[in-house]
């Protein structure tokens, strides 16, 4: 195993550069540079010298003997004066020592994972934390790093292991189709409780959803004023507006941050009742799909919207004399009345805050798919009359869950994950 080193603080020049060394040669390296190992976990001032004995720097030294360290290996931290030449000279000295090399991006974290200091869910949380832009993203990521996902998965696995053991016992000690009702009730209760817990986490938005922002789709018939409202909400001329019905053909997306909250606004083709135009038909199909997957559909039609869309009904073009009366339950908007646009934004922002105000960790799409597969397996087979079917359903669910914490993470998957990290992390 190579011993790796890298600057883990920001790149020089800076007041201080923190250089980390991790691996089997860390101790010998510190001894060579500093003339001995300092007391573990105590910041100690030492003179660092190169192989010829020339002074490199006066540095603060931290020595963490493995395995109870961030990487699980012997680990040293040099707090150097952060000048470019100082850091380069120390790096040169380190690189010239046998068994030492510069770390690749994310390699310290990868070693932490390989040495069992963190699991896959925590490593993914760390990557999310580095990329977090909004406060909501940061909170979710730090909860994952703190092990919230890992602990939940461990709990679910333990419950399933208990259920599996009981099913096995029932298979061993009873006729296969002769399960006692008391046994059955106990198992059903355990399974129902398990399903409830898993479903609660599955109901939260995923990390990716949080990154995409709250999806706002503008939908309604042709010429309803969708594109005009889209532009007014974005405060720029993003979409073409004309009096011709069918102006917008494709989906138009724009990202906007309001009060620290991220939104994706989507303008759509008007939902014409009848059209011979094949292009318009495709546009309408896309509009329907966008509306069906929206967090909120701003509905610009006096007629009701399809029932399964998350509709907020508007009363568009409220400045027109024949539209002065606003029907109950509708939000009046006019593209030229900025106050009306502001009121609309307020409603949307409150909804978004309610969806994204999550206290705790979020699953990534991939983790969610695994947890969902586990839930579906338990829902389908967990209460089957055939005990062998039940047992297999539980085993399958356990395999899915184990993947979340990385029991069987592949090299390719880890390479992709650690490519998201910077060098020194
Ligand atoms: N008076 C008034 N006219 C509006 C308002 N919003 C849109 N219009 C007009 O209504 C017509 C249609 O506006 P668009 O924004 O293109 O409507 P649309 O729903 O995007 O239309 P399609 O993309 O063709 O489905 C244009 O002539 C606009 O100028 C409004 O708030 N007040
Ligand atoms: K139009
Ligand atoms: Mg339009």
- Among 219, 223, 275, which is best to mutate for testing ligand 1, by the most ligand atoms less than 8 A from CB? 223
Task: Tell me the backbone φ, ψ of residue 348, rounded to 5 degrees.
Answer: -65, -45
List residues forming the annotated binding site for (6S)-5-formyl-5,6,7,8-tetrahydrofolate. 20, 77, 117, 425
Together in a domain, 378 and 335: no
Arithmetic mean of pLDDT over the chain: 93
Give the pLDDT score at 421.
87
* pLDDT of 289 above 80: yes
Strand partners for 252:
267
Its pTM stands at 0.76
Ligand 2 centroid distance, CA of 296 (Å): 22
What pLDDT digit, counting tens, does each position of 96-109 carry? 999 999 999 999 99
Q: Kindly list the protein residues whose Cβ atom lies closer than 6 A to any atom of ligand 1.
A: 222-228, 241-243, 245-248, 270, 316-317, 319-320, 334-335
Q: Distance between CA atoms of 151 and 26, rounded to whole angstroms?
A: 32
What residue's CA is closest to ligand 1, atom 16?
A: 241
Residues with CB under 5 A from ligand 3 (ion): 226-227, 247-248
Residue 258: strand, helix, or coil: strand
The CATH number for 47's domain is 3.30.1360.120
Burial letters 149-160, b for 16+ CB under 10 A, else e: bbebbeebbebb
For residue 425, is it within any domain? no
Q: Can you tell me which atom of ligand 1 is nearest the CA of 333?
A: 31
Rounded to an integer, the average pLDDT of 299-320 is: 96
Question: Which tokens belong to 26?
Answer: 């860390």
Residues with CB under 5 A from ligand 2 (ion): 223, 247
The CATH number for 229's domain is 3.40.50.300
Together in a domain, 283 and 217: yes
Together in a domain, 226 and 340: yes
Task: Tell me the backbone φ, ψ of residue 402, rounded to 5 degrees.
Answer: -60, -35
Burial class (CB in 10 A: 0-12, 13-18, 19+), 275: middle
Q: Distance between CA atoms of 160 and 400, rounded to whole angstroms?
A: 12
Q: Distance between CA atoms of 290 and 205, rounded to whole angstroms?
A: 17
Q: In which band, very low, low, confident or very high, does the pLDDT at 425 lie, cut at 50, 70 and 90?
A: confident
Together in a domain, 9 and 135: no
* pLDDT of 178 above 60: no
For residue 246, is it within any domain? yes
- Among 225, 283, 334, which is best to mutate for testing ligand 1, by the most ligand atoms less than 8 A from CB? 225
Q: In which band, very low, low, confident or very high, does the pLDDT at 395 lie, cut at 50, 70 and 90?
A: very high
Task: Tell me the backbone φ, ψ of residue 397, rounded to 5 degrees.
Answer: -60, -40
Task: Tell me the backbone φ, ψ of residue 59, rounded to 5 degrees.
Answer: -130, 155
For residue 145, is it within any domain? yes
Which ligand has its closest atom nearest to the C-alpha of 228? 1
Q: Which of 30-39, 160-169, 180-189 has the highest mean predicted lDDT (pLDDT)?
A: 30-39
ipTM exceeding 0.90, yes/no: yes
Question: Which tokens belong to 217?
Answer: 């789709």
Together in a domain, 157 and 231: no
The structural domain count of the chain equals: 3
What pLDDT digit, counting tens, does each position of 312-355 carry? 999 999 999 999 999 999 999 999 999 999 999 999 999 999 88
Ligand 3 centroid distance, CA of 354 (Å): 29
For residue 12, is it within any domain? yes
Non-local CB neighbours of 422 within 8 Å, separated by 6+ positions:
105, 106, 130
Residue ranges making up the domain that contains 385? 126-204+363-405
Cis peptide before 278 (omega within 30 of 0): no
Rounded to an integer, the average pLDDT of 352-369 is: 89
Q: Can you tell me which atom of ligand 1 is nearest the CA of 248?
A: 23
For residue 164, is it within any domain? yes
List residues forming the annotated binding site for GTP. 223-228, 242-248, 267-270
Ligand 1 centroid distance, CA of 253 (Å): 18
For residue 414, is it within any domain? no
The CATH number for 153's domain is 1.20.120.430
Q: Can you tell me which atom of ligand 1 is nearest the CA of 231?
A: 15
Together in a domain, 306 and 333: yes
Q: In which band, very low, low, confident or very high, does the pLDDT at 179 lie, cut at 50, 70 and 90?
A: low
Which ligand has its closest atom nearest to the C-alpha of 272? 1
What pLDDT digit, counting tens, does each position of 247-277 carry? 999 999 999 988 878 899 999 999 998 889 9
Together in a domain, 238 and 308: yes
* Helix H or strand E segment including 226: helix 226-234
For residue 285, is it within any domain? yes
Among 85-94, 161-170, 313-322, the range scoring the smallest mean pLDDT is 161-170
């Amino acid at each position: 195993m190579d011993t790796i080193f890298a600057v883990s603080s920001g790149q020089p020049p800076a007041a201080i550069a923190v250089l980390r060394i991790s691996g089997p040669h860390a101790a010998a390296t510190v001894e060579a540079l500093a003339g001995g190992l300092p007391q573990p976990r105590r910041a100690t001032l030492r003179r660092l010298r190169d192989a010829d004995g020339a002074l490199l720097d006066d540095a603060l030294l931290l020595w963490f003997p493995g395995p109870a360290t961030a990487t699980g290996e012997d680990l040293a931290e040099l707090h150097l004066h952060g000048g470019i030449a100082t850091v380069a000279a120390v790096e040169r000295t380190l690189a010239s020592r046998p068994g030492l090399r510069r770390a690749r991006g994310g390699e310290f974290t990868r070693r932490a994972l390989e040495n069992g200091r963190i699991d896959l869910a925590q490593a993914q949380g760390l990557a999310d934390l580095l990329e977090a832009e909004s406060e909501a993203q940061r909170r979710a990521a730090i909860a994952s790093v703190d092990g919230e996902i890992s602990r939940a998965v461990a709990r679910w696995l333990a419950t399933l292991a208990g259920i599996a053991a009981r099913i096995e016992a029932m298979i061993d000690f009873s006729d296969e189709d002769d399960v006692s009702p008391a046994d059955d009730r106990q198992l059903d209760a355990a399974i129902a409780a398990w399903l409830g817990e898993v479903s609660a986490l599955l109901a939260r938005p995923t990390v990716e959803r949080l990154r995409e922002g709250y999806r706002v789709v503008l939908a309604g018939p042709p010429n309803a004023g969708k594109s005009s409202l889209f532009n007014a909400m974005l405060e720029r001329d993003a979409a073409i507006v004309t009096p011709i019905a069918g102006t917008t053909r494709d989906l138009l997306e724009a990202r906007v941050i309001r009060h620290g909250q991220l939104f994706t606004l989507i303008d759509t083709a008007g939902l014409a009742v009848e059209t011979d135009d094949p292009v318009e038909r495709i546009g309408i199909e896309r509009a329907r799909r966008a509306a069906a997957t929206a967090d909120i559909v701003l509905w610009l039609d006096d007629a009701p919207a399809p029932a399964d869309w998350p509709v907020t009904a508007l009363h568009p073009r409220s400045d027109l004399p024949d539209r002065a009366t606003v029907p109950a339950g509708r939000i009046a908007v006019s593209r030229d009345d900025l106050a009306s646009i502001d009121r609309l934004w307020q409603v949307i922002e409150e909804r978004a805050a309610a969806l994204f105000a999550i206290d705790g960790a979020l699953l990534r799409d991939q983790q969610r798919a695994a947890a969902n597969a586990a839930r579906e397996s338990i829902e389908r087979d967990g209460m089957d009359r055939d005990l062998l079917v039940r047992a297999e359903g539980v085993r399958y669910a356990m395999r899915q869950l184990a993947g979340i914490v990385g029991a069987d993470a592949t090299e390719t998957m880890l390479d992709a994950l650690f490519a998201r990290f910077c060098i020194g992390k």
